[in-house]
Amino acid sequence: MSEPNKYIEDLLSQMTLEEKIDMIHGSAFFHTKGVERLGIPPLMTSDGPMGVRADFEDDRWVNIGTSDDYVTYMPCNSAVASTWNTELAYAFGDVLGEETRGRGKDMILAPGINIKRSPLCGRNFEYMSEDPYLIAEMAAPLIRGIQKHDVSACVKHFACNAQETERLWVDTEVDERTLQEIYYPGFKAALDKGNSYAIMGAYNLLNGEHCCTSKKLMNQVVRGEWNYDGAIVSDWGGVHDTVLAAESEMDLEMDVRPDFEEYFMASPLL
């Protein structure tokens, strides 16, 4: 066993069940709870794809408004992809990663690489393209640029997130060939070539399963077929069942609600 893994196993052996559960769900809108007595800090996250988002209060969607919020206003992912310039994608990630670390964050919730299917999708500005090859070529260097600054990228939203109407409950039905040829390649490249430390599930259902806790997507594809050992994070409010969450390969539940101990991976899991 490697030294880092020995260290991790030693920490785990000292943790209570309550402390372990506290680390796998949000304890504020954008961070988890650490274990202070063992020197484990909270995981600090931030949106987003166009620059590090302003900080909010822990339990209210109120902008704190401190001067350290000042960061570069980055172009949207669509604009970056439209350049077809992989060096520029890396430079974009370089700035985003540096400013994420400068703001004291551990994870930036970017890039967004869902396939664009409809001009009515409210999150199209977050996404790169309708072309899976272009997405794969641009996402990997962008992620490498972010992560050179000791910051985790979190590529999103896996998978088939293409509309805002009923976004938590729409069931997207896609056949296997289309998934393999259109919807998966960008994400696979982000993990394999970009080495993204994290991947985020989508709000929607895919063929009857909510993506964030989908055994097909997370257990079979991401962990099994792609042999990915990084973090799987829910979208904010993308989890709907404690048992399904516990049985899936998802690692961290985040949400938009301030009742943090009532998240599905919090007190109900305990």
Encode burial over 6-32: b for 16+ CB neighbours within 10 A, e otherwise.
eeeeeeeeebeeebebbbbbbbbbbbb
**Complete DSSP assignment for the chain:** --HHHHHHHHHHHH--HHHHHHTTBBSSSSBB--BGGGTBPPPBEE--TTSPPPPB-SSS--B---GGG----PPPHHHHHHTT-HHHHHHHHHHHHHHHHHTT-SEE---B-PPP--TT-TTGGGS--S-HHHHHHHHHHHHHHHHTTS-EEEEEEETT----TTTTT-EE---HHHIIIIISHHHHHHHHTS--SEEEE-SSEETTEEGGG-IIIIIIIIIIIS---SEEE--TT----HHHHHHSS--BB--S-S-GGGSTTSTTT-
d(CA 146, CA 101): 9
Tokens of 178: 């289309």
Active site residue 255: no
Q: Catalytic pick from 235, 251, 255, 259?
A: 235
Residue 129's closest CA among 74, 83, 177?
A: 83
Tell me which residues are annotated as active site. Answer: 235
